[in-house]
Amino acid sequence: MDKTAQPLTIALLHAFPLPRTLEVLPPHVLQDFSRQYDLVKGYIKQLDAYTQTETNLRNIIHEQISTINKIIGLLDAYEKNSSAIASSISKMNELYKEFLNYETYQYQLLSSNFNQNFLKLKFSKLTSASDEESMNAVKEYRNSGDLLLTFLQDFRQKRKLYHLLKEKLNRWDEERISGLI
């Protein structure tokens, strides 16, 4: 079935030759009949080609109506999807703003807790604590009288750690390194 209708012409209607009953009428009566609009309209409507064309047009119109209804349904679905997408985008924007706030807050915390001076001070305290541990190990050995071999191993490890930390701190003070490594 065509999606578009062809214009209805007299040739397509097959209105001529006239039926036998009309041909026997005198010509002046036939002319009177042809001047009456309703009579000609009724004659054309009863022709098979006209009724067939009318049926085709109705079918085309029904198909187009169903297509339009499908399009309307799709538009409704798209509208729902677009509103869901819009709400998701607004939520993402809110989350992004919240993320930026947290990121700024985190940076502020990190910059106050991990700036160079603060880290250097902390590292210096760690070095001092390591020195105190090795000195405490000597005091404990004097007081307890443990084996000399275990004391020496323990003391060497603690002094080695202390000197390693002290060397890093000295490098840092001389700016031979760019920070805590």
Is 96 found in the same domain as 27?
yes
Of 104, 126, 153, which residue is a domain's last?
A: 104
5 assigned to some structural domain? no
Is 95 found in the same domain as 18?
yes
Q: What are the pLDDT digits (tens) for 83-127?
A: 999 999 999 999 999 999 999 999 888 877 777 777 788 888 988
Of 104, 130, 160, which residue is a domain's last?
A: 104
Is 100 found in the same domain as 16?
yes
Is 121 found in the same domain as 49?
no
**Number of compact structural domains in the chain:** 2
Task: Reply yes or no on whether the pLDDT at 69 is more than 70.
Answer: yes
Is 81 found in the same domain as 24?
yes
Q: What are the pLDDT digits (tens) for 132-167?
A: 988 888 888 877 767 788 888 888 998 999 899 888
Q: What are the pLDDT digits (tens) for 38-67?
A: 877 887 787 777 888 888 889 999 999 999
160 assigned to some structural domain? yes
pTM: 0.42
Look up the domain containing 41 and give its range. Answer: 10-104
Task: Reply yes or no on whether the pLDDT at 1 is more than 50.
Answer: no
Is 128 found in the same domain as 99?
no
Cβ neighbour number for residue 130 with a 10 Å cutoff: 19
